[in-house]
Amino acid sequence: MLRKIRTKVGRLMGKNDPARAFSTQGYARHNARRLEHLASLHLPVAGLSVLEVGAGIGDHTTYFLDRGCKVTTTEARAESVELLRQRFPGVDVQALGLLYHLGKPAEAIAFMAKNCTRHLFLETWGSFGDEKAEHLVEEVQRNPTQSFSGKGCRPTRPWLFAELKKHFEFVYCPTTQPNHPEFPLDWTDRAKHPSPYTRMVFIASRVPIKSELLSPTLVARQVRHE
């Protein structure tokens, strides 16, 4: 069914086909590793109402649907929104961009916090550094996997942690990272991270979460999850 939808939509969009752009082997591997890590944290999500921000073509949406969640999912590009509505007719799909593809990340975090009554799961592209910095960047606007506005950001972990703490009493850094080279293990030495991409994971919550896999402070070194 998905292949038929992608083929139909792809004919309409040609080179800017988000289904084609998000269906590479690299994306499939990346998504699998991220979902494995999320599941390994054993966070309570079953039956919750979920706001999924920056869904792409919905490769993570089924994680929440399969757990009985009521999902509202978002994307910035009209083509992706249409594809999401075709894939998930029972899901509320709205137009909204992704954190690291936005030029005003603090406003995005504030919006997500305003609409979050329990937990915020944040995985994003960022930068090494001990300073609190947004690191605004230019992105290729015509690329369906990049910023709709052409503006993006690569914030440091201290900046993200501090912004989340403005809105949530409890903010956690996992002690583990996904089994993927884009997620660093040693944040003290950029030279030990060969990938040109740097990704990080945070959990923010309205209520405390008791787990030995979550640290209430930034950890300098992490390990791959089991």
- Global pTM reads 0.84
Domain residue ranges of the chain, discontinuous segments joined by +: 2-224
pLDDT confidence of residue 104: 83
pLDDT confidence of residue 7: 42
Give the helix ranges, DSSP H, for the chain.
2-13, 18-21, 25-40, 61-65, 78-87, 105-114, 157-165
3-state secondary structure of 101: helix
How many Cα neighbours within 13 Å face the side chain of 208? 5
pLDDT tens digits, 125-183: 999 999 999 998 877 666 656 666 677 889 999 999 999 999 999 999 999 999 999 99
Domain 2-224 in this protein, CATH class: alpha beta
Residue 214 Cα distances to 16, 35, 109, 219, angstroms: 39, 17, 20, 10
Which of 58, 149, 142 has the alpha carbon at shortest distance from 102? 149
Looking up tokens 């040609």 gives: 14
